[in-house]
Amino acid sequence: MMKRNFGKVECLLAVALALGVPAFAQSGDSPSNQSDSVLTISLDEAKQYALAHNRTIRNASYDVQKSEAARWKAIASMLPQVNGDATYSNMCGYKRDFSMMTGGASGASAKQDSVAGSNANETNAQQSSAQSGETKMPSTLNWGVNVTATVSGAQIVGVQVSKVAKELSEIAVGKTDQTILSKIETSYVNILALQATVDLLERNLENMDRMYNMTLNAVKAGAAEQNDADQIAIQVASMKSSVNTTKRTIEVLYNTIRMMMGVPADVEISLSQSLDDVINPGSILSLLDTDLYLGDNYDYRLKAKSAELSKKQVSLSKAAYIPSLTAFYNYSDHKYVNADEQIENMLEVFSGSPKNTVGFKLTVPIWSSGSRWADVRSAKMDYAKALNELEDTELQLGIQGKQLRYNLTSAYENYENQSNNIEVMQRVFKSNTEKFKYGTISSMQLTTSSTELIGAQNTYITALMDMVSAYVDLKVLLNK
C-alpha cells in the first residue's frame, strides 16, 4: 500500500524532470574544484546563478546578437561599398612587330605636314628602319578602385524586417529565462517538501524500531506472539524503503538544479530556506486576484511579434516592384614595367582607357511572369495565418487564466486539508505508539496506524506538489 502511494509521487517527479530539463553546462567561472565544498543558496540566489551560467540562456542571448548583426548587414547594404584591385600581367617574352603601326603613324604625319624637307624624310626613314624588327611586349601593372552604392525598396524594408526579428529574439530570451526560473522554483520547493517528509518518516521509523525491539523482547519473554513482531518488522522495512525512495527522489531533484545552474556533480548543494519561507499563503492567494495582461505574457508577445514580422514580409515582397538605383565611381590606372619609352608611348596612344568614371544605373522591374505576384500572395496568406494564431492565443490565454486560477484554488484548499490531516494522523500514530507500549492495542492496530500515517504523508506531498505546480503555472501566465 505504501509503495503504491509513494509511487505516484515518484512518477510526478520523474515526469516533471523528463518534460523539461534543457542542456546546461558549467561556465568558466562556475564553482569548479569544489569537490569537498558546499554551495549554500536561497531560491533567489539559485535563480540568479542559473541566469549567469545556464547555457540555454546564453544561446538565446547569442541569437539576439546574431539578429543585431543581421540588422546591421541590412543597413550596410545601402551604404557605399569600396573595393580595390591590382593586377600584374607578364606576356612571357611575347614579341610584336610595330613597323606597320609606326609606318602608319609616319604616313599620317607626312599628310599633316606636307612642307617637310628631305631631312625630315630621312629621319622618318631611320625611325622606320629602327622599328622594322619585332619588339618584346612589356609587363603591365594595373590597379583601380571601385565605389558603389545601391538603394532599393527591398533594402529599406529589409532593415525594418531585421529590426522586428531582433525584437522577436529578445522576447524569446525572456521566455527562456522564465522557463528556466520556473523549473528551478518547482524543484527547490519540492526538495524542501520531500526533506520535511524524510525528517518525519525517520522520526516515525525510530519509534517503530523501538516498538519492534520491545515486541521482540516480549516474544522472547513469552509475553507476546511472534506474529506481532513480524507485523511490526514488515512495517519497519516498508518505512525504511519509503525513506530511501524519498532520498533518491531528492537527489534527482538536486541533480536537476545542478544541471540548470551549471554546477558540477561533485559540489554539494544546500538550500538555505525552509518550506515556510518559500510557501507563503498570502502570496498564493494574492496571485489569484491578479488580472491577466496580455502584454506581459511571453507567449502572446511572441505571437504578436511574429504577426508583425509576417506583415513586414508582405511589404518586403511588394518591394520587389520598386526600382533600384545604383551610383558608381571607378578609378583605374596602369604602368608598363621595363618598357621602351617609344613603345610605351605608342601603347598609351592605343589604350584609350579613362582613369575616372562616374555613373548611375536605374533598374526598373517590368515583367516577372507572375513570380513577384505569387510571392506577395504567399506572404499575405502567411500574415493571415499569423493573425489567426494571435487571436487563438488570446482566446486560449483567457481560458487558461480561468482554469489555472481554479486549479490553484483547488490545490491550495487540498493542501490545507492534507496539512491538517497529516497533523491529525501524526498525533494518532504517536498516541497508538504509547498505547502499544502498555498493551492496550494490538500490533495490527499499530501497523494500521503507521500505514495510514505513511499514506497521509504521501497524499500531503502530492497535494503540495500540485499546489506548487499550479502556483508556478499561474505565475508564468501572469509573468510575475
Q: In this predicted model, what pLDDT tens digit does every residue of 138-167 receive, in sequence order?
A: 888 888 999 999 998 888 999 999 999 999
Grid cell locating 215: 515486541
- 80-84, 105-109, 245-249, range with the lowest pLDDT: 105-109
DSSP one-letter code for 141: E
Read off the pLDDT of each residue in 391-404 and give the average, rounded to a whole number. 93
**261, amino acid identity:** M
Indicate the length of the chain as a whole number: 480
Q: How far apart are CA 30 and CA 20, in angstroms?
A: 22
Q: What is the pLDDT of residues 20-66, one digit of tens each?
A: 333 333 333 444 344 457 889 999 999 999 998 888 888 888 889 89
Q: How far apart are CA 50 and CA 46, in angstroms?
A: 6
Confidence of residue 349 (pLDDT cuts 50, 70, 90): low
Q: Is residue 243 scored above 80 in pLDDT?
A: yes
Of 197, 184, 185, give the one whose Cα is nearest residue 461. 197
Residue 466: which H helix or E strand, with range?
A: helix 443-478
Q: What is the pLDDT of residues 406-462, one digit of tens each?
A: 999 999 999 989 988 988 988 888 888 888 877 788 878 888 888 888 888 888 888
Q: Is residue 120 scored above 50 in pLDDT?
A: no
Residues 57/178, Cβ–Cβ less than 8 Å: no
Q: How far apart are CA 463 and CA 410, in angstroms?
A: 10
Could you tell me how far CA 466 lies from the centroid of its own chain? 28
Read off the pLDDT of each residue in 302-326 and give the average, rounded to a whole number. 92
Q: What is the pLDDT of residues 459-474, one digit of tens each?
A: 888 898 899 889 999 9
Read off the pLDDT of each residue in 281-285 and give the average, rounded to a whole number. 81
Q: Is residue 350 scored above 50 in pLDDT?
A: yes
Of 12, 20, 21, give the one whose Cα is nearest residue 464. 12
Of 294, 312, 289, give the one whose Cα is nearest residue 166. 312
Q: How far apart are CA 276 and CA 271, in angstroms?
A: 13
Beta-sheet strands, E only, within 258-317: 268-271
Read off the pLDDT of each residue in 315-331 and give the average, rounded to a whole number. 91
| 297 vs 344, residue with greater confidence | 297
Phi, psi of 458 (to 5 degrees): -65, -40
The pLDDT value given to residue 5: 40
CA gyration radius for the chain?
43
What one-character-per-residue DSSP string does 70-87 give?
Answer: HHHHHHHTTS-EEEEEEE
pTM of the model: 0.74
CATH 1.20.1600.10 for domain 2-23+49-80+152-319+369-478: yes
